[in-house]
Amino acid sequence: GLVGPSGSGKSTLLKCLGAIIEPTSGRMVLGQDVIYDNGWKIPDLRALRRDKIGFVFQAPYLIPFLDVTDNVALLPMLAGIPNAEARKKALALLTALDVQHRAKAMPSQLSGGEQQRVAIARGLVNRPPVILADEPTAPLDSERALAVIRILNQMAKQFDTAIIVVTHDEKIIPTFKRIYHIRDGVTHEEAGEGRGID
């Protein structure tokens, strides 16, 4: 988990890690691939984001004219997975996040918490090696927030996925395996590790 005061650069760091904005310097490696080394080293950043990085933002950014299932299934479809298989993957995640009963609903028909759980399913659907989550539990109640963190942790274990969560949500900070604070533009690991949640 990544925590720090407002304006400390947490979200900017997450956007750099997600290849949304370009860092000013440094080096980023994902698996065996050098992503950035004082310049982008990957020719297709869109494919990188689609296939290797799952995003979960504070705002859900759902596509208003697609139903819940297709909002989640769109990424695998864009990656070439057949529509029926992509929808099956989407429904499995919607069930895990307890929104399967809204599978055919349009985003405008969902509560804020339901929209966020659908957005989380979308971030997980391609089983990326990295998930970047910017305040993913902000609109959720305590029970749902912990359920979301539990699912993210299960995904990390099951698929060997790294998850970086930026948050101010005090109730989920103790669930992180590692906690980093940004202070004065520098990231510091907190002494000791979080307990994690299973």
Rounded to an integer, what is the distance from CA 37 to the centroid of its chain?
Answer: 24
> What are the strands of the beta sheet with 130-134, ordered from one edge?
53-56, 130-134, 162-166, 2-3, 180-183, 186-189
pLDDT at 191: 58
Locate the domains of the chain by residue range: 2-64+114-189
Residue 45 DSSP code:
H
Q: What is the mean pLDDT of each run of 10 residues along the chain (198 residues)?
A: 85 91 93 93 92 88 97 94 97 91 97 88 90 84 81 78 87 85 83 54
What DSSP string describes 92-158?
Answer: HHHHHTT-GGGTT--GGGS-HHHHHHHHHHHHHTT--SEEEEESTTTTS-HHHHHHHHHHHHHHHHH
CB distance 110 to 71 below 8 Å: no
Helices 83-96 and 112-124: angle between axes, nearest 10 degrees: 130
Residue 86: the pLDDT is 97
pLDDT value at position 27?
A: 95
pTM above 0.85, yes or no: no
What's the confidence (pLDDT) of residue 194?
57
Which CATH class, in words, describes the domain spanning 2-64+114-189? alpha beta
